[in-house]
Amino acid sequence: MAKKRVRANGEGSIFFDKNRGLYIAKIKIGNNPETGKAVYKRFSSKSREIARQKMADYLQQNPEYNPHADQSTLDIYIRKYLYTLKKPVVSAKTLQRYESIYHTHITETEKSKHICPFLYFPMGQIQSTQIRTWYSELSVSASTLKLIHIIINGALVLGMEDRVITYNPAHAISMKKEQLDEEDATAVLTAEEQRILVDALDLSNPVHRLLYFVLGTGLRLGEALALRWSDFKIINKEKHVQVKRSLSRVKMDDGTYQDIEGDPKTKASRRSIPLSAKLQQEIKSWDSKSKNGLVFTNPNRKEETYIFNKTPVRHLERLCKQKEITEVTVRGLRHSYATRHFEEGTSIKTVQKLLGHEKFETTMNIYTHVMPDIKIRDVKNIDKFL
């Protein structure tokens, strides 16, 4: 016997499934790009009203699927920008960062700190002055404001591509470039502090090995966590470590977290780093027989898994406090690696390649931070000519 379907206020249909004993609300949300067949979203409940309400809530939260919603609003195009344009091409971690900005500073959610005042305006009604005024009223850091602007501008550009608008009101708005504040620069270890830390490391502990390896290679934490023994290669008769992937801890839709391997941060991050003789000698004593090939495995798990990304941070914080040296982050160890190179006269361009920086300016920011000490040292060299 056919299931009786009832229209739900012109938005989808509701029918009773006798086999399951449930009311099913169904709404079309698009077409399969490969087959062209319609794709539906279903909501079930023992109550017809609850099933209908579930569907209504979904349409309210996802207005791009609502046939009665204004399809030219900024909010709909932000969603298109995030999930149609960016999701296929950025890492899960980057998408998560964009989503966090959207939910915290643009749309209305339980954790909203700010709400865009023109979020539900048709994009043709949004003016540059409105965007400038909102930006000036936001109490956020320069980096957060830059991300907000990337999302707003991206949605408006997409609207122009779809010919919904003929002019992008965010186009003329330029973001203030962040200036390096020496007070806020990443803390690094002095050469003496680095010796103290190295002496304090217990290299039978995989976590301490990881910290030691970052000091010796300048790898990012995610790059080190994802490192495998197969990434060590002999190139031009010298042993190198090759950076091919990076590990990110990503929050899933169900609220749980999952470790996901992906491509390195940028194209420049794919690199080969020569290993010093001392580091090579130390690595020889490390167990290289892990089943999954990981160099650094979690010492707190019976099965061989990744080290939890917060664990090295906690170990490093504890060691710095115990030894009464500058408290640095794992990123600070990476910058300490760069600083030792600068102190020994390595060219900035070489350090850029070793660190995998895409932009020369990023490396220069580290150099600028350590330059006063290098400048004092180098000025003393002039004495021999006076």
pLDDT tens digits, one per residue of 342-374: 988 899 999 999 999 988 888 888 877 766 666
The model carries a pTM of 0.65
Q: Are 226 and 292 in contact (CB under 8 A)?
A: no
d(CA 186, CA 368): 12
- Sheet with 13-17, edge to edge strand ranges: 5-7, 13-17, 22-31, 38-45
Cα–Cα dist 125/328, whole Å: 48
214 vs 305 pLDDT, higher one: 214
Q: Which residue has the tokens 């001392």?
A: 278
- Residue 38 pairs in a beta bridge with 31
Please compute the mean of the pLDDT values over residues 118-142 and round it to a whole number. 93
Lowest mean pLDDT among 4-8, 196-200, 225-229, 295-299: 4-8
Q: Is the pLDDT of residue 333 over 60?
A: yes
Q: Looking at residue 9, what is its pLDDT?
A: 46
Q: What is the pLDDT of residue 221?
A: 95
- The rounded distance, in Å, linking the Cα atoms of 310 and 131 is 38
Token digits of residue 19:
């086999």
Domain architecture of the chain: domains with CATH: 5-65 (3.30.160), 74-161 (1.10.150), 191-381 (1.10.443.10)
- Which tokens sit at 7? 């229209």
Res. 137: pLDDT tops 90: yes
DSSP output for 86-101: ITTTS-HHHHHHHHHH
pLDDT score of 302 more than 70 = no
pLDDT higher for 250 or 312? 312
Of 106-115, 130-139, 154-163, 274-283, the one with minimum mean pLDDT is: 106-115
Question: Does the structure show a pLDDT above 60 at 68?
Answer: yes
Q: Rounded distance, CA 281 to CA 278, Å?
A: 5
* pLDDT confidence band for 280 (50 / 70 / 90): very high
What contacts 146, CB < 8 A, 6 or more positions away?
A: 175, 178
Residue-wise pLDDT for 220-253, tens only, equals 999 999 999 999 999 998 999 999 999 988 777 6
Q: Which residues is 6 bridged to in the sheet?
A: 14
Element (H, E) at 282: helix 277-283
